[in-house]
Amino acid sequence: MSRFDRRPTYDKILMGPGPSTVDPRVLRAMAEPAMGYFDEDFLSILSETRELLRYVFQTKNELTLAISGTGTAGMETALSNLIEPGDRVLICVHGFFGNRMVEIAQRYGAEVKVLSSPWGEPIYPDVLEKELKAFGKVKLVGIVHAETSTGVLQPLDEIARIVHESDAFLVVDAVTSLGGVEVPTDRLSLDVVYSGTQKCLSCPPGLAPITVGAKAADYIRNRAKKVGNFYLDLSIVEKYWDGGKVYHHTPSMNLIYALNEALRIVAEEGIENRWRRHELNAKALASGLEAMGLELLVKPQYRLPPLTTIKVPDGIDEAMVRKRLMSEYRLEIGAGLGELKGKIWRVGLMGSTSTARNVLTFLSAFGGILRSMGFKAHVEDGLEAAFKVLEGGCR
């Protein structure tokens, strides 16, 4: 057997599109001993985790739990539990993850209509209303609340009204918004909302929180045909989370411990305070970048606080900037996806990563690298602009 050197410990600043920095309390919680999946102590942790998830989702939905899998598992859970072959669904696409919803819906046999907006813009309610009328009766409308590929925060109030008036289910992707901005589950009577743990909850990836409204839950529990995906069948999974009544699969106890602790941290901070923190730091970052002479992709009214997208200036090697940030500062940011590959940088301020220190550190390092590559970055102006926002928000 080969001799392996001791594995190094990595200390990096995670300011990409996810995962975010995991709180030390969460890491310690993960190190607790595993238990049996019917152990009363573990079932008690599941029950408490459900209550904490309801708080973060801002809902009283009975069917609220965490799927074993990443955010994509949450997406597939939402769609597979509601779609049957031949169902007509409309998917709103304004970025990479809307396209993923389309592919999953098609795999479950849906007749899919796609409503697209340019990447970097939201879905506009009047266009959705027109498309729904033209397409006819649909069973489901899917939309991404926080589009991680573009940094757009999709307004949902008018969208929800239009979809409910059409008597369709509204499925919302909140992977990059849950815990960072308001996810108005009960306020707007959203039918299904799913997320991931590795973004604004600052928990390791591997679980997908999901909440289902009463109407959608009733449909799922009383389907004439079984859900096409056994592992993600909510009608069975919820029976396990409901006091261990039915065995479905062996959950990852240690990831549940981590999620429970991460949600406790959210509750201690207060969900509204958490939203305000994300908003303040994002405004400071945006002000700093614009003062440095950079252009952001998204208009101010649609910007997603946990994720900022920056247009790459002409003549700058975007990959080299990311490489130097990592090699010189151990700081990660993300590249563009799909249509925006090579055109933008994605900078995350999610959960534990969303701090004033990270804003100022990033602006200094990023601006310095750009200036050394020939872009006239006004670094001092950027830092001053960001500091003014932060100082004003702290008063």
375 has a pLDDT exceeding 80: yes
* β-pairing verdict for 146-147 and 111-116: unpaired
Q: Which among 358, 362, 329 is positioned nearest to 345, based on CA atoms?
A: 362
Q: What is the pLDDT of residues 310-364, one digit of tens each?
A: 999 999 999 999 999 999 999 999 999 999 999 999 999 999 999 999 999 999 9
Query: What mean pLDDT do residues 16-28 have?
Result: 96
Ranges of beta strands (E only) in 245-343 are 307-311, 331-332, 334-335
Instruction: Please report the pLDDT score of residue 7 as a whole number.
Output: 83
Provide the 10 A C-beta neighbour count for residue 117: 20
Q: What is the pLDDT of residues 71-93, one digit of tens each?
A: 999 999 999 999 999 999 999 99
For residue 176, give the 3-state DSSP assignment: coil
Q: Which domains does the chain have, with CATH numbers?
A: 24-268 (3.40.640.10), 271-393 (3.90.1150.10)
Give the pLDDT band of residue 288 (cuts 50, 70, 90).
very high
- Say how far apart CA 79 and CA 142 lie, in whole Å: 9
- Say how far apart CA 378 and CA 71 lie, in whole Å: 38
1 has a pLDDT exceeding 60: no
Q: Please say whether the beta carbons of 370 and 382 come within 8 A.
A: no
Amino acid at residue number 67: I
Q: Which among 62, 108, 35, 342 is positioned nearest to 221, based on CA atoms?
A: 62
Q: Please say whether the beta carbons of 331 and 16 come within 8 A.
A: no
Ranges of beta strands (E only) in the chain are 13-14, 63-68, 88-93, 111-116, 140-144, 146-147, 152-153, 169-173, 192-194, 207-212, 307-311, 331-332, 334-335, 344-348
Q: Which among 149, 147, 178, 144 is positioned nearest to 159, based on CA atoms?
A: 144
- Say how far apart CA 244 and CA 236 lie, in whole Å: 11
Query: What mean pLDDT do residues 265-294 have?
Result: 98
First to last CA, the chain: 61
Report the share of the chain in percent with pLDDT over 70. Answer: 99
